[in-house]
Amino acid sequence: MHRAIDNVTENGFTAYREENPTPIHQKLGYAFQTLEAYHTAKGYLIELRKLMLAERQLEINGTSKIDHPHRLDRVGIGMEWPVHTMINARLEPDAELRKLDRLRYGKEFNAARGRVSSRRWRDDQMLAADADLSNMEREYDSAITALIPGVEKARDIIRQYVLTLSEQAREAAEKVKQAEERVETRKDSSSETTEELAAKQQESAEATQETMEALADFANTASITDEAERELARDADAAAAQIQDAAQRAEESMQEAQKASDAQERQQALDQTAEALDQLAEALEETAAHFEAAENGEELEQSRDDLRQAEAALERQNEIDQRFDDAERMAESAQSTPEELMEQLERELQTNEPMRQELSEIAQQAAESAQRELENAASQEQKLNRDLEKADPTISEQKQRTAEQLQNLAARTDTLERALVEKAESALSKEQGNVPKAQENLQEAREALRDAVEEAAKLNGENSLLSEMQETANAMSDAIKNAQEAIAEATPPTENAVQEQVHKDESSRKRSQQQLEAAARDARSQQVRNATAERQQWSAAKREADRRANDARNQKRNAENQKRQLEQQRSREKGNTDRLDEDIEALQQKIENAEAAEQAARETKSLAEEREKSAGKREQDVRNQSLPPLNEPNPAAELASRLAEQTKNELGAIEEALRELSEGMAREEQLRVPQETAAQLARQQDKIQEQVDSATEQLRRAARHEERLGQDELAEQLAKAADAIEQSASQAAENASDSLQQAAESSEKSPQANRDVANASEQINEAAEQLAEMLANSDPSSSEQNSQQISQQGTQQGDPQRGQESAQEDGDPNDPQQSQSPPQGHPTGEQPQGQQSGEQPGQPTAEQQRGQEMARTLDELDRAMAQQAREAQQAQQQAGQDQAANQPGQQASDPQQGQQASGEQPTGQQEGQSPGQQQTAGEASPTLANAIQSQAQESARERQAQLNPAQPSPSEGTTPSTESGNGTQMPAGGQLDITQTERMGAEWGKLRERRTEDASESRAESVAPQYRREIEAYFRAIANRAAEKSE
């Protein structure tokens, strides 16, 4: 960009090639803004891809809990500036930009955020968001790819005002020749002349530096995967090395001349300067000729050989060769098909132990992730079932009444157990009534009554399902029958013991009588308290029901008013009123729902009033209950007999209430869910089905990996588990989805939808439990031993294919397969320079890291190939359905109509690919794509370091953030390092104030010296134009 500005403002703010400078600067500004925004957006794509890979290898630790949400937020927020900038710059196609903008808040992003961001405050089991992030990454990548033509137009705009590489080199060569001529034709070798020559030589040095920068830019923007561009980038590096060497010698010679103490030494240094400048001019001329030939499509073999020979003389050929050999091998791996690279990786897997270990961990993580997905799907399915029943206001109100009644009946039962049966059982103990058999029967009765209370306690009030309430009522009824039977068995021996003499004298009997009569009064008091509490609860339920009825009436009134207004508006409309018709229909549905809710709430209120009166009467009856004295010889047996009879009567009333409640309970066939709600629940059901399908695919992927590792038994278990889930849970979820779709069209289908959802919940939960049991019973240690044995066998048996790989590693230059070796981080599989010395304790070794990267690449290729197979199967099924839908004898005119009738992408083709273009391994593997990106960034950093040896190289290239997340790329292109922020000192609290004060000062900062003249000329022209208009 700065070369374009320098070029068009070479003569100040004047016309450039008869074009007004103002529109030139505007066009350059838009072009630069477009390129900056595009590359920033690409940086966030890389960030998103890294997060996706981290989610695929999800670890339950603080990084996943804190850093992953931060990184996802950073992508969502960071995308806003580049996308809106490109929209404002009118980059085409606009539809892709809008799609890119929607990704920040679209379905995939929100789904991923629901799983990732909630980790900050939840302790629930973590669920990986890689599937949603993968869909988002695919959409992001296709949109970025679609923007390339528009970005190239922006580059072309800048190229219009920038010298071509050959022109730049030739102009620099001319300036260098002028500098050489000045040195050779100098009048003398005095220090004054030397200083003058050195000052004038600076202009040629700047032109040379700009040429080297242009060569670096050319190499940095070349595609690694394109052989022709890669070779030209190699030429640019060779030319830059040759130019830099000559320029450095010319500069050093001139500096020696400036430092020389006598004329002879100064003359010798100046002669060396002229010689170096001559060589520099020659190198620049060769560079200009070579790249001019490349621009014109001419033969480059001879000039390329000349560049390489000159590079070899500088002893830098090995360094540059290594860089481009790495790039070439990586490009060949990336350009191969997924099947070809998979075959190579599977061969490598047989003997690469770190790769085997990593793939085994990936398989284990996939199986465990499938289990978590199923458990979460079961939980979501159960919640959906509850929401489905809750959506019907009538059923919801009936469940409210049922829950209240079950709660009160359970409280009455609990009071009977503690107030009556417990005291009766205690009275029959050996120390008092001495009726052990009857005491055992009453102990059984107490246990049965406690079971009934516990069954009621399992309910979640009105949020429970109808089926759960029915089961609870039946279980309570059965428990009460058991208690009645036990009490009936205790009655005869208790009554027989009433006349027995169990006390040694009358005084002892009197004391016992007094204690037992006090116990009888206490039992009556407990019953009174229970009846009082029940009356108060029904009173509160009555008030709540009345409130709900009033709320429903207000909702109905508001909906009627809105409907009336829309009907009036529709009567005035003369055009299309379809939208108004839909809104009116929705309001009518709302009115009907409110009417049903109000009626149901009134019924609840009526029931509550009735039960409140009944509880009040029972309270009064208990208060008025007489307690005759216990005058029989065995007062304990007499009390137990009375309490047992009273309990029998109370339990009979409770049993009858449970029977009536069970018979009058809302039935599933009565369920009517509003169509709009059914449609929303259908969408939720689709997500649950996606979860189940995802779990199934993860198990299949784990099975394929275990099979590659030789774990045939475990692979078969995983595959069978996947088949079972597909046949049961997945099919049940699909049936539930279909039923909900039907309920969305007709509320009459609600009961069937409810049954199917309940069945899906049961099937998914059962599948999760079975998978958990299977994984718990698997033996990882035997898997490791088997893995080691297979690895040893692969080495000992001398696999002929492995022998070929060994020959390749020996470096046979004539072997055409050598360039197709699997990618190993650094594609050659060799240790990068300095990596061994830079390894940190506790970090994976280079060999382990390469094995991990190869295993992950294999896993990603497996995913892509499996996805391609699924898409092919779906396309085949769709084609069959389309063919069956045609009338007999009728055929589509387009032979590809069956495949493309629905507008879907061809099988194996990603969005953004040309028709017929097969997916490459680099497109299928984000790990390999990241490796290519890292290779390009590393090369760019090396070139930058060579251009400016005295300056430290940038640490992160063009990526908007560091791997650890400590840096954030700002829209203006600078990097904010938050690790250097002082948070403990007093200045932290004054950050906003100080920043505000500095804002006004920054406006007065001086501009760059090289642009001062052009900017001043620009403002003078503006002022002159304003003055002319005012006249």
Whether omega before 844 lies within 30 degrees of 0, making that bond cis, reads: no
Q: Say whether pLDDT at 232 is over 80.
A: yes
User: What pLDDT is recorded for position 763?
Assistant: 93
Q: How confident is the model at residue 968 (pLDDT cuts 50, 70, 90)?
A: very low
Range of lowest pLDDT (145-154, 268-277, 778-787, 817-826): 817-826
Q: What is the pLDDT of residues 720-755, one digit of tens each?
A: 999 999 999 999 999 999 999 999 999 899 999 999
Closest of 504, 464, 319, 385 to residue 943, by C-alpha = 319
Q: How confident is the model at residue 797 (pLDDT cuts 50, 70, 90)?
A: very low
d(CA 892, CA 886): 8
Q: What is the pLDDT of residues 68-92, one digit of tens each?
A: 999 999 998 999 999 998 988 888 8
609: exposed, middle or buried (C-beta count within 10 Å: 0-12, 13-18, 19+)? middle
Q: What is the pLDDT of residues 995-1013, one digit of tens each?
A: 333 333 333 344 444 444 5
Q: Which residue do the tokens 């040379």 mark?
A: 208
Q: What is the pLDDT of residues 557-616, one digit of tens each?
A: 999 999 899 888 888 877 777 888 888 888 888 898 899 899 999 999 999 999 999 999
Closest of 618, 627, 622 to residue 654, by C-alpha = 618
Domain positions in the chain are: 2-154, 164-335, 353-388+675-793, 393-670
1021: tokens are 């022209």
Closest of 149, 278, 104 to residue 204, by C-alpha = 278
> Is residue 229 within 8 Å of 223, Cβ to Cβ?
yes
Closest of 558, 538, 737 to residue 618, by C-alpha = 538
Q: Say whether pLDDT at 993 is over 70.
A: no
> Is residue 423 within 8 Å of 519, Cβ to Cβ?
yes
User: What pLDDT is recorded for position 158?
Assistant: 79
Would you give the DSSP letter of residue 625? -
Instruction: Taking residues 474-500, report their average pLDDT.
Output: 92
The hierarchical CATH code for the domain 2-154 is: 1.20.120
d(CA 200, CA 182): 9
> Is residue 156 within 8 Å of 35, Cβ to Cβ?
no
Across the strands, what pairs with 141? none
Which amino acid would we find at residue 384?
Answer: L
Range of lowest pLDDT (451-465, 500-514, 611-625, 881-895): 881-895
954: exposed, middle or buried (C-beta count within 10 Å: 0-12, 13-18, 19+)? middle
d(CA 947, CA 213): 7
What separation in angstroms does the CA of 452 have from each of 455, 475, 528, 533?
A: 5, 7, 21, 19
User: What pLDDT is recorded for position 141?
Assistant: 87
d(CA 725, CA 729): 5
User: What pLDDT is recorded for position 884?
Assistant: 67
Instruction: Please list, in sequence order, all residues whose beta carbon lies within 8 angstroms of the beta carbon of residue 272, skipping any fewer than 6 positions away.
Output: 249, 253, 256
Q: What is the pLDDT of residues 858-906, one digit of tens each?
A: 998 998 888 888 887 777 777 776 666 665 544 444 444 444 433 344 4
Q: Say whether pLDDT at 975 is over 70.
A: no
d(CA 357, CA 469): 50
What separation in angstroms does the CA of 640 have from each of 508, 634, 650?
A: 18, 10, 15
> Is residue 386 within 8 Å of 452, Cβ to Cβ?
no
**Full-model pTM:** 0.69
Across the strands, what pairs with 1028? none
Q: Say whether pLDDT at 970 is over 50.
A: no
d(CA 878, CA 907): 12
Which of 668 and 912 is assigned the larger pLDDT? 668
Neighbours of 823 (CB within 10 A): 28
> How high is the mean pLDDT of the chain?
79
Q: Say whether pLDDT at 522 is over 50.
A: yes
d(CA 717, CA 353): 24
User: What pLDDT is recorded for position 754?
Assistant: 92
Task: Enumerate the H helices of 573-672 as residue ranges.
Answer: 578-623, 635-664
d(CA 93, CA 162): 26
User: What pLDDT is recorded for position 10?
Assistant: 61
User: What pLDDT is recorded for position 739?
Assistant: 94
> Is residue 501 within 8 Å of 637, Cβ to Cβ?
no
Instruction: Taking residues 936-950, report their average pLDDT.
Output: 73
Instruction: Please list, in sequence order, all residues whose beta carbon lies within 8 angstroms of the beta carbon of residue 596, skipping any fewer than 6 positions away.
Output: 393, 394
The dihedrals phi and psi of 387, each to the nearest 5 degrees, come to -65, -35
Q: Say whether pLDDT at 953 is over 70.
A: no
Q: Say whether pLDDT at 271 is over 80.
A: yes
**Residues present in the chain in total:** 1031
User: What pLDDT is recorded for position 820?
Assistant: 41
Instruction: Please list, in sequence order, all residues whose beta carbon lies within 8 angstroms of the beta carbon of residue 63, skipping any fewer than 6 positions away.
Output: none
